[in-house]
Amino acid sequence: MSSTPWFWIVVVAVVVLVAVLVAGLLIARRRRISLDESKAADVVEKPKGGGYTATGGIALAPGGEKTEEAEEAEHPVEDRPETDGQPAVGDDASVPRDSAQRTVRDVELPEPAEETAPEPVPAEEIAPASGRLERLRGRLGKSRSVFGQSLLGLLGAGDLDEDSWQDVEDTLLMADLGAATTTEIVERLREELKRRAVRTSEDARAVLQEVLTSALSTDAVRAVRALPHTVDGVKQPAVVLVAGVNGTGKTTTTGKLARVLVAQGSTVVLGAADTFRAAAADQLQTWAERVGAEVVRGKEGADPAAVAFDAVKRGTEAGVDAVLVDTAGRLHTKTGLMDELGKVKRVVEKQAKVDEVLLVLDATTGQNGLMQARVFSEVIDVTGIVLTKLDGTAKGGIVFQVQRELGVPVKLVGLGEGPDDLAPFEPGAFVEALLSS
């Protein structure tokens, strides 16, 4: 083989190699990173937030009132197929640059509206407290049928044999008068009927009324100490503590009592020291609003003694006539809760004397109510009893027992859930109501 072809093959290979080397050098040069600082300075840092710069404060509108109608949107939501106000297919993502711009213009600001005092809330009409027991006589219906019909039926029948006297005794026991009071009343009835030689049912009724009324009489003052007094020439509100077990009607009684006081021209602060149940404070607040009294309440679970203290402090500062403190319902069997009630009283007494401690008892609980009363009076020195729900029981006789056993007068009776269904307790009117047909 001749050497000519080999010569040409070597020449072509060298040419191709040179061409590849030149191309590689050119590409490498283009890719090299420039570290020239002057070029880096030309890069302008973009402000964060897409170039938005606030020129003023956030626009604010008065709360609670309706603001001016917003201008009609260019693409009203209602014209869109979807309802949530999100952009729809075909909507511009942003306002086109050539769209009409709003210019600055003067606008007439409306004259500020003259401040008008809020319309005073008309106070609810409150039934006068005097003569309430007579008006609520019908509410004693169940107890009345036991006393009025059974007793009068037995006594009006003329001379009573031993069986009849046994029936009288049973009737009194069933009405929750308790053994001791029943024995005492039966003895007095026998004596009086014999002494006066009673023959007619009219006379028998009169004797019964007299004996029952005297069994309820006491030398203790029945007036609720809820009027202000003066200490060193300074007016002090009366401080009333309302206590009792759960659901006896403490909050309702506190509200009803506040109504009575306000109706008589007193100013009242209510202390919601029932911090266990948020609803209890709300309930008291509703009463306060209806009556026109101020309410002092704490956070749920707050120390009831602190709330009671604050309520009395507020009442004293505001110069009101009475501060009524509603305490949490508690089981008389729970020592901790009872201790806490004692603390409420002690803490309040650091700044003012507690003038009245009302123990609220539910008449429908009968003997159990009596046990509660005993424990409560050991802890807080009860000065008056409020017997509630007398409208719902045949055991109105509990009044006799409570008073006799505790030596504390029944001062008020609850005869319904209505705001004016609280009556002062008057033995004569109460017995009259029990015996009325």
Ligand X SMILES: Nc1nc2c(ncn2[C@@H]2O[C@H](COP(=O)(O)OP(=O)(O)OP(=O)(O)O)[C@@H](O)[C@H]2O)c(=O)[nH]1
* Residue 322: CB atoms within 10 Å: 26
271 part of the interface to ligand X, by CB under 6 A = no
Q: Contact with ligand X (CB under 6 A): which of 246, 264, 335, 351?
A: 246
- Measured from each CB, the residue nearest to ligand X is 329
For ligand X, which residue of 416, 419, 424, 427 counts as binding (CB under 6 A)?
Answer: 416
Concatenated DSSP letters of 130-172: TTHHHHTGGGGHHHHIIIIIIIHHHHTTSS--HHHHHHHHHHH
**Residue 131 vs residues 248, 250, 312, 330, 422: alpha-carbon distances, Å:** 24, 23, 31, 33, 11
Work out whether 250 is an interface residue with ligand X (CB under 6 A).
yes
Which residue, 148 or 329, is less far from ligand X as judged by CB? 329
Rounded to a whole number of angstroms, the minimum distance from the CB of residue 349 to ligand X is 23
Apex 234 CA angle, 228 and 240, nearest 5: 30
Tokens of 219: 């030398």
What Cα–Cα distance (Å) separates residue 293 from each residue in 91, 261, 272, 288, 299? 59, 10, 12, 5, 20
Among 177, 280, 291, 434, binds ligand X (CB under 6 A): 280
Asked if 247 is part of the footprint of ligand X (rule: CB under 6 A), the reply reads yes
Range 156-215, binding ligand X (CB under 6 A): none
Which residue numbers belong to the known binding site for GTP?
244-251, 326-330, 388-391
10 Å CB burial of residue 51 (0-12, 13-18, 19+) is: exposed
- 248 touches ligand X (CB under 6 A): yes
Q: Between residues 237 and 414, which has the closer beta carbon with respect to ligand X?
A: 414
Torsion angle, CA of 16/17/19/21, rounded to 10 degrees?
160
Q: Is 274 in the site for ligand X (CB under 6 A)?
A: yes
Rounded Cα distance, 408 and 381, in Å: 10
List the one residue from 144, 205, 389, 395 that touches ligand X (CB under 6 A). 389
* Window contacting ligand X (CB under 6 A); options: 119-127, 209-217, 230-238, 250-258: 250-258
Give the C-alpha separation, 45 to 48, whole Å: 9
Beta-sheet pairing, 410-414 with 422-424? antiparallel
Q: Residue 251: which H helix or E strand, with range?
A: helix 250-263
Among 222, 277, 314, 343, binds ligand X (CB under 6 A): 277
Work out how close the CB of 391 gets to ligand X at its nearest, in angstroms, rounded to a whole number.
Answer: 5
For ligand X, which stretch binds (CB under 6 A), given 3-11, 89-97, 370-378, 389-397? Answer: 389-397
Q: Find the DSSP H helices in 196-249.
A: 201-216
Residue pair 317/325 in contact by the 8 Å Cβ criterion: no
Q: Which is nearer to ligand X, 274 or 420 (CB)?
A: 274
> Does residue 423 belong to the site contacting ligand X (CB under 6 A)?
no
Give least dist CB 171 to ligand X, A: 24
The helix (run of H) or strand (run of E) holding residue 271 is strand 268-273
Strand pairing category for 268-273 and 356-362: unpaired
| Spatial CB neighbours of 39, under 8 Å, sequence gap ≥ 6 | none
The smaller minimum CB distance to ligand X, of residues 369 and 392, is found at 392
Asked if 143 touches ligand X (CB under 6 A), the answer is no
Q: Indicate whether 392 belongs to the interface with ligand X (CB under 6 A).
A: yes
Residues making up the binding site = 244-251, 326-330, 388-391
Minimum separation from the CB atom of position 389 to ligand X (A)? 4
Tokens of 76: 């009203």
- Contact between 404 and ligand X (CB under 6 A)? no
Among 75, 158, 417, 436, binds ligand X (CB under 6 A): 417
For 254, other C-beta atoms within 10 Å of its C-beta total 31
Binding mask 319-338 toward ligand X (x if CB under 6 A, else -) reads: ----------x---------
> What residues from 12 to 31 belong to the interface with ligand X (CB under 6 A)?
none
Please select the residue that binds ligand X; options are 129, 273, 322, 415, rule is CB under 6 A.
Answer: 415
Residue 249 in the binding site for ligand X (CB under 6 A) = yes
- Distance in Å, CB of 169 to ligand X, minimum: 29
Rg (CA), the chain: 44
CB nearer ligand X, residue 391 or residue 426: 391
Only one of the segments 5-13, 225-233, 249-257, 331-339 lies at the binding site for ligand X (rule: CB under 6 A); that segment is: 249-257
Question: For the chain, how many helices (H) and strands (E)?
Answer: 15, 10
Footprint of ligand X (CB under 6 A): 244, 246-252, 274, 277, 280, 329, 388-389, 391-392, 414-417, 421
